[in-house]
């Protein structure tokens, strides 16, 4: 049984006040115990979020990490530092990191390995651009991004991964993949995982991300291979994020 995961990626947004607001709202919220909800705030807010979410069911994640354990890497944060603040999930390969900060598959793999080594869970983000979709290269692009990491992990490590399919053309555009389009790619990812290990493939959680909101969440989450969501814009409004969490059925 795959426990649904709803993850709110705040990107470079939010404030201490928003952290408090989420803490208060989720302390009162009636959420199913058979799902997980996490917020990925910018790292300066992790300490405040750890305190504010302490008495709620909200977990914590981080948006990026440096692959090195420590050292002269000005501005960077290590996986063990994230772990000290109760972080459980860390994004790797988000399309904004790939395109704005030139993080290629090798950089994504190094981060995933550092996260696993620290006992945290990497959320590997994959997705095609609009050009790649139009050229019929959606599956190849997405599966290549998955394989670039999974080929280099051992069987044990693969079990501790989460994958998020985020079509680049759907991120922040208001243009969501239809449930059928998303399900098709999710099914292809799961079929690809079967080549590594059937049981791992049936247990690994696949999230959808890209303009997921309260209006379309239930329909997307009802697809057989969609096990949760990675939410950007709609995770900045507490009522919307809560509604998405409650639409897990
Ligand atoms: P939006 O939900 O704003 O489209 O962002 C999706 C995303 O990139 C989450 O990581």
| Within-domain flag for 97 | yes
What are the φ/ψ torsions at residue 48 (nearest 5 degrees)?
-65, -40
| Within-domain flag for 184 | yes
Atom of ligand 1 nearest to the CA of 211: 4
Q: Would you state the structure tokens that stand for residue 96, as one six-digit string?
A: 């904004």
Here the CATH number for the domain that contains residue 141 is 3.20.20.70
> How does pLDDT run along the chain (249 residues), one tens digit per residue?
899 999 999 999 999 999 999 999 999 998 888 999 999 999 999 999 999 999 999 999 999 999 999 999 999 999 999 999 999 999 999 999 999 999 999 999 999 999 999 999 999 999 999 999 999 999 999 999 999 999 999 999 999 999 999 999 999 898 889 999 999 999 999 999 999 999 999 999 999 999 999 999 999 999 999 999 999 999 999 999 999 999 997
pLDDT at 196: 98
| Within-domain flag for 70 | no
182 Cβ contact list (under 8 Å, min separation 6): 165, 208, 220, 223, 226
Distance of CA 10 to the CA centre of its chain: 11
Q: Which of 5, 7, 11, 236 to mutate to test the pocket of ligand 1 (most atoms within 8 A of CB)?
A: 11
Q: Which of 188, 200, 197 is nearest to 226 (CA)?
A: 188
Specify whether the backbone of 75 is left (phi greater than 0), alpha (psi in -120 to 50) or beta: left
| Within-domain flag for 143 | yes
pLDDT at 1: 83
| Ligand 1 atom 5: residue of nearest CA | 232
pLDDT at 18: 98
pLDDT at 33: 87
| Within-domain flag for 40 | yes
| Within-domain flag for 195 | yes
| Within-domain flag for 68 | no
CB 123 within 8 A of CB 87: no
Q: Would you state the structure tokens that stand for residue 153, as one six-digit string?
A: 């992990």
The three-class DSSP label of residue 122 is strand
CB 9 near ligand 1, within 6 Å:
yes
Rounded Cα–Cα distance for residues 91 and 64 (Å): 6
Rounded Cα–Cα distance for residues 74 and 51 (Å): 27
What are the φ/ψ torsions at residue 142 (nearest 5 degrees)?
-65, -45
| Ligand 1 atom 2: residue of nearest CA | 232
pTM (predicted TM-score): 0.97
Q: Which of 172, 214, 234 to mutate to test the pocket of ligand 1 (most atoms within 8 A of CB)?
A: 172
User: Residue with structure tokens 């995982």?
Assistant: 193
Rounded Cα–Cα distance for residues 51 and 49 (Å): 5
CB 236 near ligand 1, within 6 Å:
no
State which H helix or E strand residue 208 sits in.
strand 205-209
Report CA-CA distances (Å) from 92 to 67, 148, 242. Answer: 11, 13, 24
| Within-domain flag for 69 | no
Please give the positions annotated as active site.
Answer: 94, 166
Rounded Cα–Cα distance for residues 31 and 116 (Å): 28
pLDDT at 162: 98
Its domain, for residue 215, covers 5-62+78-246
Count of structural domains, the chain: 1
Using the Cα atoms of residue 84, residue 87, residue 93 and residue 94 in order, give the sign of their dihedral: negative
How far is the centre of ligand 1, averaged over its atoms, from the C-alpha of 71 (Å)?
A: 31
Per DSSP, the chain holds a count of helices (H) and strands (E) of 12, 8
| Ligand 1 atom 9: residue of nearest CA | 232
């Amino acid at each position: 049984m795959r426990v649904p995961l709803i993850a709110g990626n705040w990107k470079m947004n939010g404030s201490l006040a928003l952290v408090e607001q989420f803490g208060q709202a989720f302390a009162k919220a009636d959420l199913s115990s058979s799902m997980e909800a996490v917020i990925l705030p910018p790292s300066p807010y992790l300490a405040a979020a750890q305190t504010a979410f302490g008495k709620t069911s909200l977990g914590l994640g981080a948006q990026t990490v440096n692959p090195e354990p420590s050292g002269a890497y000005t501005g960077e944060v290590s996986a063990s530092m994230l772990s000290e603040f109760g972080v459980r999930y860390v994004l790797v390969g988000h399309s904004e990191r790939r395109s704005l900060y030139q993080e290629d598959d090798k950089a994504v793999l190094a981060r995933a390995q550092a996260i696993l080594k620290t006992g945290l869970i990497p959320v590997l983000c994959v997705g095609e651009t609009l050009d790649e979709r139009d050229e019929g290269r959606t599956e190849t692009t997405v599966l290549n991004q998955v394989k670039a990491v999974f080929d280099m992990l051992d069987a044990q490590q693969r079990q501790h991964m989460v994958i998020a399919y985020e079509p680049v053309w759907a991120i922040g555009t208001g243009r969501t993949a239809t449930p059928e389009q998303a399900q098709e790619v999710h099914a292809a990812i799961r079929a690809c995982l079967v080549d590594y290990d059937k049981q791992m493939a049936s247990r690994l959680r696949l999230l959808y991300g890209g303009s997921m909101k309260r209006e379309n969440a239930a329909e997307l989450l009802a697809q057989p291979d969609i096990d949760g969501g990675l939410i950007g814009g709609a995770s900045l409004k507490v009522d919307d994020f809560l509604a998405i969490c409650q639409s897990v059925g």
